[in-house]
Amino acid sequence: MNLHLTNKIAFISGASSGIGAAAARLFAEEGADVIIGYGQNRDGAEECAAQVRALGRRAWLCAMDLSQAESVRVALADLPAEIAGIDALVLCAGHNIITPLQELSAEEWDQVIAINLNGPFYLLQAIRSRLRPGAGVVTVASVAAQTGAPHHAHYAAAKAGLVNLTKSAARALAPGVRVNCVSPGITLTAMGQQTVATLEEGYARKKLLLERFAEPEEIARVIVFVASPAASFMTGATVDVNGGRDLR
């Protein structure tokens, strides 16, 4: 299938590792140039940029603190003039703190909500004028948005909010820009491994039809498709990529 991404420009937040970095590589493989949004992991962002360039595509780094609207605005203002417009936006940056609900502090709650819910809103609002007609936006939620999570209630609440922010943005930006959500199951990223450590033994075999957790590339492939012009009649949708959780 031709995803029609040749010479397009994709902006990915959280592209310094995990699913975001995998998506950056796949966009480049499909012929797109990539803006690599990141927070503190400069080394990971530079490694991702090197991988994109090795595939013959352009890569730019964009550092920002997603929890601060002004930081997002300034970072976008500093993008090179050669970036005339953006064809795909992937809101993939995430942050989690594993803490039981009864022990959650207000500071932890605010920090996780700020990165996982406020940040996507700030970035989407600030970048809206740069999105080209026909652009595809993908938010990245989590199975926790549907199920809740006893050890990271703040993360689950933020991701549930992100699902509905997606629907609101799809309404607001139609018909020129599509906005969809990809909702992964537990994925073997550094953050996902923290979640795995809280689960009962044999969780994947008991709960998932596919009896395993996802690799980052498996989620990234869906993200790139949904963001691409190949998914031109999708908007306001949430796509579950969770290995058949709870269908046993």
Name the nearest CA neighbour of 147 among 92, 107, 186, 93: 186
Is the separation of the CB atoms in 152 and 97 below 8 Å?
yes
Contacts of residue 103, defined as CB under 8 A and 6 or more positions apart, other chains included, come to none
- The sign one gets for the Cα dihedral 224, 227, 228, 233 is positive
Question: Do you find a cis peptide bond into 229, omega within 30 degrees of 0?
Answer: no
Residue 109, SS3? Answer: helix
Instruction: Just list the catalytic residues.
Output: 155
Strands 178-184 and 33-38: unpaired
Is the separation of the CB atoms in 214 and 191 below 8 Å?
no
Tokens of 170: 């799809």
